[in-house]
Amino acid sequence: MSAQESHDSADVAARVERRWATISVIIIVVMAIVAAFAGIHQVTMPQARVEIVDPSRLHLSGEFAEANLGSVAEQDGSVTVRAIGQQYSFTPACILVPAATPITLRATSADVIHGIIVQGTNINTMLVPGYVSNQAMRFDKTGDYVMPCQEFCSFGHEGMWGKVRVIDKADFAARAKNGGRLSCVGE
Ligand SMILES: [Cu+2]
- Reply yes or no on whether the pLDDT at 159 is more than 90: yes
Percent of residues, the chain, with pLDDT higher than 90? 75
Task: Taking residues 52-76, report their average pLDDT.
Answer: 91
- Reply yes or no on whether the pLDDT at 150 is more than 60: yes
Residue 64 C-alpha to ligand 1 middle, in angstroms?
A: 17
31-40: pLDDT as tens digits: 999 989 887 8
- Reply yes or no on whether the pLDDT at 138 is more than 70: yes
If asked whether residues 22 and 74 sit together in one domain, one would say no
- Reply yes or no on whether the pLDDT at 47 is more than 60: no
Residues present in the chain in total:
187
Residue 128 C-alpha to ligand 1 middle, in angstroms?
A: 10
Does the bond joining 145 to the residue before it have cis omega, within 30 degrees of 0? no
In which domain, by residue range, is 91 found? 55-176
Q: Mean pLDDT for the chain?
A: 91
Task: Taking residues 139-152, report their average pLDDT.
Answer: 95
| 50 located within any domain | no
The residue that leads in pLDDT, 177 or 50, is 177
If asked whether residues 142 and 121 sit together in one domain, one would say yes
If asked whether residues 41 and 71 sit together in one domain, one would say no
If asked whether residues 34 and 115 sit together in one domain, one would say no
Number of domains in the chain: 2
Residue 76 C-alpha to ligand 1 middle, in angstroms?
A: 32
Strand-pair partners of 127? 114
If asked whether residues 40 and 76 sit together in one domain, one would say no
Task: Taking residues 25-47, report their average pLDDT.
Answer: 83
If asked whether residues 163 and 100 sit together in one domain, one would say yes
| 184 located within any domain | no
Percent of residues, the chain, with pLDDT higher than 70? 93
Q: How confident is the model at residue 169 (pLDDT cuts 50, 70, 90)?
A: very high
Residue 115 C-alpha to ligand 1 middle, in angstroms?
A: 6
If asked whether residues 151 and 121 sit together in one domain, one would say yes
| 183 located within any domain | no
Report the C-alpha gap between 183 and 101 in whole angstroms. Answer: 16
Residue 59 C-alpha to ligand 1 middle, in angstroms?
A: 18
CA atoms within 13 A on the CB side of 52: 7
If asked whether residues 83 and 136 sit together in one domain, one would say yes
